Chain A
Amino acid sequence: MRTKYILTILVVFFIVVSVQHSGAQSLTALEIVTKMQDREDGDNSISDMEMILIDKNKKTRVRKIRTFTKDKGEDSQRIMFFLSPSDVKGTGFLTYDFDDYGKDDDQWLYLPALKKVKRISASDKSSSFMGSDFNYSDMTSKNLPDYNFTLMKELEIDGVKAWQIQSIPKTTEIMDETGYEKGVIFIRQDNFVAIRGIYWVYKSNRRKYMEVKNLQIIDGVWTATEIHMTTKEGRESIHKTIIKHHDVRYNQELNENLFTTRQLEKGL
């Protein structure tokens, strides 16, 4: 009789504790990821991107690219011009990224030496972005319903609380398209910024490790001004890309004509 009584108290105690506990993390994995994706990122942005490519022989190549982005309804647009190296200065890329996932992105390029604008039809987002360790799919937002998200655990990274979330594409088509068969992302609880990520490359034994090395608030927007992406095979680093953003500005007065092929031809 007495033991039963104690047992009941214990059970009630645990229920209360666990309810309180789960209350603290009432967000589901999908909610967290949605919040991450919907985070304020300004209507438009300008930045000078410095891309440092490091190969396995530690040889580096540095590219400087001026980037303009703009939201247009649910879609987004981006135009980029190479500032250096000098051989490719003026080479430009214009991209319309459509929110509708059934629709391929539109992309145009301009080679100043050829003096021609070409539309590029490449539906493959799993390919490398500008020869870096980033894929095109890393540069655009995800279609969340395509994935299963699981909250793995909470942890602290550099003294900040974070969620560790696994994302697995629901179909092999998605894996093929994005180039990844699985991802584990680490999202800061205070600002919903993904500060780390591990990505398992589809049909490969490679993994990619992403880490935000520098995060700051610019014009009210949390901005990763230095991101590292390392491709590894086992413990071995194969290739690495460091992206640094300089002179980032948000919500500027941007000419509507900036995101056109004519501008691409005109250059900066």
Chain B
Amino acid sequence: MDFELSGSERAFRDEVRAWLKANAPSDRDGDGDLKAFIDRRREWQRKLHEAGYVGITWPKEFGGRGGSFMDQLIFNDEMILAHAPEPINVIGLGMGGPVVIAHGTQEQKKRYLPPLLSAQEIWCQGFSEPNAGSDLSGLQTRAEDQGDHYLVNGQKVWTTLAHVAKWCMLVARERKEANPREGLTYLLVDMESPGVEVRPLVQITGDAEFNEIFFKDVKVSKSQILGEPGNGWAVAMTTLLHERGTLGLALATRAQITASELAEHARKLGRGSDPLVRQKIAQHTIEARALQLNGYRAVTAVKRSGIPGPEGSILKLMWSELNQRMTETAMDIAGPASQVKDGDGWKYQFLRSRANTIEAGTSEVLRNILAERVLGLPRSR
């Protein structure tokens, strides 16, 4: 067991620290309107990428840094310290890129990865449907084989970034099979294709960060299949493993940021001497740290065994529930001021966090995964 950084790791940390100090923007989520916010984050990612800090573990030949998981961890930690915001392409970086690296052809990797890294092309995820939420295999969007292309018809929902995305990771049904997990095909759909319509879905924050996507006779070339036709379930599972694992580490970083902002919030409002507030914030900080350390242990396990396990579900489950508690504490501390205007900067987070336990696997689904795949309990379905 060793948490000391090596000479080269220390050098990388110092370099990142200096760069972030000079370059990190200071705006917060929820500041200003959504479009301006997205433009700022896109520009931020472009800048990060130019400096070589996006896709740290991705292969160099596709625009990544070719670095280690350790470099990624160091970078994450420095992002916390600098209170730096995330890059815009969260879905692409957390899921899209890793799934292309895992299942894509050489041509696909060359085509999709570089513009994903530079935020030139933003990605979104077309999995959930009105009648297929936690039970993904019940999806109804169809992909009809037309020889050299597919014709896609159907509807997806809760799609983050769909209104600005170039690519959608779409799971559609090609054939009906007795086992609903068979006959699915995983397609990368160009969101600029004729027949794609994106309608914003106004959520409880008042923003329209999510969308519905309607596909009407959308032509998708067969060069845009990821993995084998009919074998989309396996590709989708890789996507979700990355969503909850790799993304889990980013979430651990985010929890640390939120915990430190919460402490700052309490200090600013002069509530830091209240013993109950001290207890709560300390507990949140401890849980955020435990979450991060769980991530470190998962990384060590991946390094030793080579595969991310379902333990990633622990990270997502912990983060989503912790994040809700943290925003609740922030609102409590602010008292009635939490209700008006931007609620001292926390109103948006307070509302937004309610989705955390639903998106990317509900807490109920994640507990099922832990119970069944980690503890080996019998399947409930």
Do A and B associate with each other?
Answer: no
B positions within 8 Å CB-CB of A:
none
